Amino acid sequence: MKTRVDKRLEIFNKYADSLNLLIKNGIINLKLENTHTYICPICLTQFSEQALIQSLENPLTLEDVPPVSLGGKSEILTCRKCNNSCGQKFDHHLTTGIRIVDDSEFIPGTERNVILTKEGVDVNAQIKVGKDGLINVHIPTKKNNPEKLKRHIEKIKKDDEVQLINYSNNFDNEKFRMGLLKIGYLMVFKKFGYSIILDPIYDPIREQLRNPEKITYEQNYISTLPIMGVECVALVIETGFESMFSVFSLKASDIERPYQVFIPLPGKPISEALNRFREKYKSDKNPSLEMKAMNNSDYLTNIEAIKNMLNWINYLAANKN
Ligand SMILES: [Zn+2]
């Protein structure tokens, strides 16, 4: 089995070789500080192979796209600063966000802690959804203040409605969305390496991921079309919507949740396309978009495939609409 050390070195070599191939073929023009260089896709700092030594202050680390807890794998590297600062800020909200969606569906065979509230008196409870879908609510005396519990029970009459509050763990929907943006952006890097992401059009995404406390990037970049079972980056070729589309699914339970993130093409601002998509989505909950699935070529090593893909992107980015 590959160790984490082997894995880091393998990824480093793969992307560093690809970077040299792009420079040699004149596809990107960049001065490298070392002949063998890995650029962190989030802060764009250049790293030499030395940076694989984990005892350094800011080494290159394995980055899971999506987070492992939601079904992802580590196939790229980011520097520790970016991995820690972005990862910790988003992963918790991603996991909680997916759980909230799961909880709202009362999936048979699940159980969770909730708060029951009646006329302002809250009690801690556990909900168990049986395999047959029957919901059982248990209010443990150990986890409740006896006085409060008594008042709560006194307030409930037969057939009364009780409000249920899911534990939200300080859930922040904006960070959930940024977490999805990060996955979508890093999927583009994972597939296409440095041929695309060094373009300044991606600076606002990087800026947002590095500074999640303030919303600075676009809205409407997420869609939840029911595209299941595929993980890919496609090109949206429909006139007026030209962009890239990262398709993936996340799961916190047995249920996979499909997500897609629109990512701009180099040289093509995306605001208009996102607004148009939002309008389209309003009138049609399953809007279709004309796509070109990128085939299985290796866009890190196959120079013909890279040129072909860049031709497509330049063609789409030049469309006036
Ligand atoms: Zn970094």
pLDDT per residue as tens digits for the range 152-162: 888 888 888 88
Q: In angstroms, how far is the first alpha carbon of the chain from the final one?
A: 51
pLDDT tens, 209-220? 999 999 999 999
For residue 188, count other CB atoms closer than 10 A to its CB. 21
Interval 8-19 mean pLDDT: 98
**Between residues 259 and 114, the one the model is more confident about:** 259
Please give the distance, rounded to the nearest whole angstrom, from the Cα atom of residue 205 to the centre of ligand 1.
13
On whether residue 20 sits in a domain, the answer given is yes
CB of 262 closer than 8 Å to CB of 221: yes
* Number of domains into which the chain is organized: 1
Residue 248 pLDDT = 93
Residue 286: strand, helix, or coil? coil
Asked if residue 149 is part of any domain, the answer here is: no
In a domain, 32, yes or no: yes
| Measured CA distances, 100 to 114, 179, 306 (Å) | 12, 15, 40
Separation CA 16–CA 37 (nearest Å): 5
The pLDDT value recorded for residue 301 is: 96
Rounded to the nearest angstrom, the distance between the alpha carbon of 285 and the centre of ligand 1 is 37
Instruction: Name which residue leads in pLDDT, 264 or 87.
Output: 264
Residues 184, 74 contacting (CB under 8 angstroms): no
Structure-block tokens of residue 218: 């676009």
- Is there a domain that residue 147 lies in? no
In sequence order, the β-bridge partners of residue 253 are none
Question: Could you tell me the distance, in angstroms and rounded to a whole number, from the CA of residue 197 to the centre of ligand 1?
Answer: 14
| Backbone dihedral angles phi then psi of residue 76, each to the nearest 5 degrees | -135, 175
Task: Mark the residues whose beta carbon lies below 5 A from ion ligand 1.
Answer: 40, 42-43, 79, 82
> Which of 95, 182, 242 is CA-nearest to residue 103?
95
Tell me whether residue 132 is in a domain. no
* Domain-embedded: residue 134: no
pLDDT at 108 over 80: yes
Task: Report d(CA 245, CA 236) in Å as an integer.
Answer: 7
- Calpha distance 280→274 (Å, rounded): 10
Q: What is the pLDDT of residues 116-170, one digit of tens each?
A: 888 888 888 888 888 888 888 888 888 888 888 888 888 888 888 887 777 666 8
- What spacing in Å lies between the alpha carbon of 68 and ligand 1's midpoint? 19
pLDDT digits (tens, 9 = 90+) for 67-82: 888 888 899 999 999 9
CA torsion sign for 38, 45, 234, 254 is positive
Report if residue 232 sits inside a domain.
Answer: yes
Structure confidence at residue 168 (pLDDT): 64
Question: CA dihedral in degrees (124, 130, 135, 139; nearest 10)?
Answer: -20
Question: How far apart, in whole angstroms, are the C-alpha atoms of residue 90 and residue 200?
Answer: 23
> Ligand 1 centre and the CA of 268: distance in Å?
25
Å from CA of 206 to ligand 1 middle: 10
Domain extent at residue 302:
4-98+172-317
List the beta bridge partners of residue 60.
Answer: 79
What is the DSSP secondary structure assignment for residue 55, as one 8-state letter? T
User: Tell me, what's the pLDDT at 18?
Assistant: 98
Number of H helices, E strands in the chain: 8, 13
| Range 282-289, long-range pairs (CB < 8 A, 24+ positions) | 286/225, 286/226, 287/225, 289/236, 289/238, 289/241, 289/245
Check whether 105 has a pLDDT greater than 70. yes
Q: Is the model more confident about 283 or about 19?
A: 19
Q: SS3 helix, strand, coil % of the chain, rounded to 5?
A: 40, 20, 40
44 CA from centroid of ligand 1 (Å): 6
Q: Which of 38-47, 78-87, 246-255 has the highest mean pLDDT?
A: 38-47
Average pLDDT, the chain: 90
Residue 180 lies in a domain: yes
pLDDT of residue 300: 97
Q: Find residue 122's DSSP bridge partners.
A: 117
Average pLDDT over residues 247-255: 89
3-class SS at 247?
strand
Q: What is the three-class DSSP state of 108?
A: coil
Q: State CA 6 to chain mean position distance.
A: 26
Measured CA to CA, the distance from residue 202 to residue 41 in angstroms comes to 10
